Structure 1
Amino acid sequence: MAPNIKIVHNEKLVLGEGPYWDHVAQVLYYVNVLESTIFKYEPSTEKFTQVIVDKDKKSSVSFVIPVEGIKDKFVIGYGNKLALLTWNGISTYPTNLEILISLNEATDTVFNDGKVDARGRLWTGTVFPGVITGSQERRGELYSMNSQEKCVTSHATGIGISNGLAWSTDHKIFYYIDSLNNTVDAFDYNINSGELSNRRIAFDFVKNNLKGFPDGMTIDVENKLWVAAFNGSAVHQVDPETGSLLQSVKFPTSQITSATWGGPNLDELYVTSASHSETGQNFYAGRLFKVTGLGTSGLPGFTVKL
């Protein structure tokens, strides 16, 4: 059966990103990064709600992940800060926003993609905003958050654009994307300590003759990665063990940003996109898509333990 692609949300987002499927609530969260906005989509009612985190839109919102065991609480990437958002899923503005961790202002970087491991440990990386306008400065870092000590630990420096993160189903391998490298990298992962080791290339965009560069990603139950290709009009399913391309799902817009599994059976792939540097008037740019008929599924995402 060929994949079926459907537009879920007709709003044209500037930079749609960070899709997170809440499997318990059966809702999807995602962000419009540059507009400091978080969306909630409930498929059963086809209802959309949104919260504007910064009404002046001076601080980006790069990801949103629910907090374990606490209703209406989320950890978000908020400019160069990690923040605890209180939102009832309905109101236009949040009930509360508490800053958990701030990076040193001198770093001049902001948080980008974020994910949580099986122990509730948040991982997120940064990017120097000038990269968006063509700078090649590698000022970003890859961090994990220690919520008890209100600090972050740096695991990698010299990052260009910190993007996709995923773990193998046995939690022994961590996959990571620095978009400027045009690769998906793999690390051995110690789930108990949160330590990374033995970094190597798992998949290479250039060697596989793929357009664009790798952005966000997710993983399926067979340990195959699904990698969004920004400026590549596709999500690619790849085998990180062999470094081979398995299939490509093509979209009618170029700036594909991320993907996550959702739906009651976790067999629906929700895909975000951007429109901020699209040329012309592409109707499909910046939309939220849903892809079905892919013949595989994912696993539920984890929540942040605070």
Structure 2
Amino acid sequence: MSTGKVSLVHEFDCSLGEGPHWDDVSQTLLFVDIFKAAVHRWNPTTNIRKSIYLPDSSIGAVVPRKKGGLVVAAAHRFAFVDEETGATETIHEVKQQSPESRFNDGKCDPAGRFWAGTMGLEIEPGKPKRNQGALYCLHKDQNVTRHVAPVDISNGLSWTNDQTVMYYCDSYRYCIDAYDYDVTTGSMSNPRVAYKFNTEGDEIPDGHCIDVDGNLWVAMFFGGKVHQIDPKVGQKIRTIKVSDVALKTTSTCFGGPNLDELYVTSSRNLSVNKVEGDTSGGLFKITGLGARGLPAYVYEG
């Protein structure tokens, strides 16, 4: 089975890149730089990047809004963003588990709700204070509900093609949880472990996406790799090494005209000045995997 061809497609030098979202309409990639509170839209055809810097201390996730513009989970608020002017409008400020908590990752479900979760203050990268996060849902009527708490590091979200199962990762639990999902109401039930990771070493599961066959592609923070997981049977199919330098791989999404290119975000290494060959914080693309993703959902509210 092919491990694919990995290439560094853009040296964004992200402090903490996260939440890639392929915009199928414009054929561009959206993602955030958490600590620079930046939203990036990158065109792989022209290699042109447009960036918006928000007046927040951080930003965890971004998705397009069907009515136009963007929706973000930034610091501790959901907000609309005018992509042309950069102006923001707060939708809702969440009641945090701790004043130091912040949004970390998010994604829209098949009905167009925006799910995003929080985490505690990081004592060091990838190691936050425990039990200070929660998973929230921004509904289409702009009301917000809390669904899972307490959470250590709220991360990957994916839904099956038939819209009946939701996968969720709280990184410090070292597992992917599955929930029965009611797409009509947005309710989660019957939680169970779909896949348990090895807890030896520093690697922790981060963001993930799902392919048309129902397999998850999970970025491993501190590992510089992506695991392909079959959550239906709880087995790892293969591992793709992304980088020996950019070890803080953070999230994944499928993109490209045929949704068969896997994009992987990463976080900057802690060195004060980047040295030659340091690809950390860059954006990677993996081709030739023989897999294809599902179109990403947008916020319908």
Give the shorter-chain TM-score range: over 0.9
Matches within 5 A, 1:36-55: 36-54=37-55
Q: Equivalents in 2 of 1:233, 1:10: separation in Å? A: 16
Q: 1:129 aligns with which of 121, 126, 132?
A: 121
1:31 is aligned to 32
* 1:230 lines up with 2:221 in the alignment: yes
Letter of the 2:247 partner, please give it: S
Structure 1 counterpart SS, 2:60 = strand
Does the 8 Å CA contact 1:131/1:137 hold for their aligned counterparts? no
1:287 is aligned to 282
Q: Equivalents in 2 of 1:106, 1:226: separation in Å? A: 29
Matches within 5 A, 1:163-182: 163-182=155-174
Does the 8 Å CA contact 1:116/1:304 hold for their aligned counterparts? yes
Q: Equivalents in 1 of 2:202, 2:103: separation in Å? A: 25
Matches within 5 A, 1:39-188: 39-54=40-55, 58-68=56-66, 70-71=67-68, 73-88=69-84, 94-104=85-95, 107-108=98-99, 109-130=101-122, 132=124, 134-148=127-141, 150-188=142-180
1:249 is aligned to 240
Q: Equivalents in 2 of 1:105, 1:19: separation in Å? A: 25
CA drift of 1:128 comes to 1.2
Q: Equivalents in 1 of 2:78, 2:91: separation in Å? A: 6
RMSD: 1.9
1:18 is aligned to 19
Does the 8 Å CA contact 1:172/1:188 hold for their aligned counterparts? yes
Q: Equivalents in 2 of 1:67, 1:80: separation in Å? A: 19
Q: Equivalents in 1 of 2:290, 2:201: separation in Å? A: 23
CA drift of 1:151 comes to 2.9
Q: Equivalents in 2 of 1:278, 1:226: separation in Å? A: 28
CA drift of 1:41 comes to 0.9
Structure 1 counterpart SS, 2:172 = helix
Letter of the 2:220 partner, please give it: A
Structure 2 counterpart SS, 1:12 = coil
Does the 8 Å CA contact 1:216/1:259 hold for their aligned counterparts? yes
Does the 8 Å CA contact 2:3/2:239 hold for their aligned counterparts? no
2:293 is aligned to 298
Moved more, 129-138 or 281-290: 129-138
Matched-pair identity in %: 35
Structure 2 counterpart SS, 1:61 = coil
Q: Equivalents in 2 of 1:97, 1:136: separation in Å? A: 29
Q: Which runs of no fewer than 5 residues in structure 2 stay unpaired?
A: none
Q: Equivalents in 1 of 2:128, 2:27: separation in Å? A: 39
* 1:212 lines up with 2:194 in the alignment: no
Q: 1:64-122: per-residue Cα shift (whole Å, max 9, x none)?
A: 10001x23x1000110001100013xxxxx34210000023674221111111111111
Q: 1:9-45: per-residue Cα shift (whole Å, max 9, x none)?
A: 1231110111000001101011111001111111221
Does the 8 Å CA contact 2:119/2:128 hold for their aligned counterparts? no
Q: Equivalents in 1 of 2:280, 2:146: separation in Å? A: 34
Letter of the 1:5 partner, please give it: V
Question: TM-score w.r.t. structure 2 length?
Answer: 0.92
CA drift of 1:132 comes to 4.4
Structure 2 counterpart SS, 1:28 = strand
Q: 1:154-176: per-residue Cα shift (whole Å, max 9, x none)?
A: 11111000000000111100000
Letter of the 1:300 partner, please give it: P
Number of matched residues? 294
Structure 2 counterpart SS, 1:242 = coil
Letter of the 2:71 partner, please give it: V
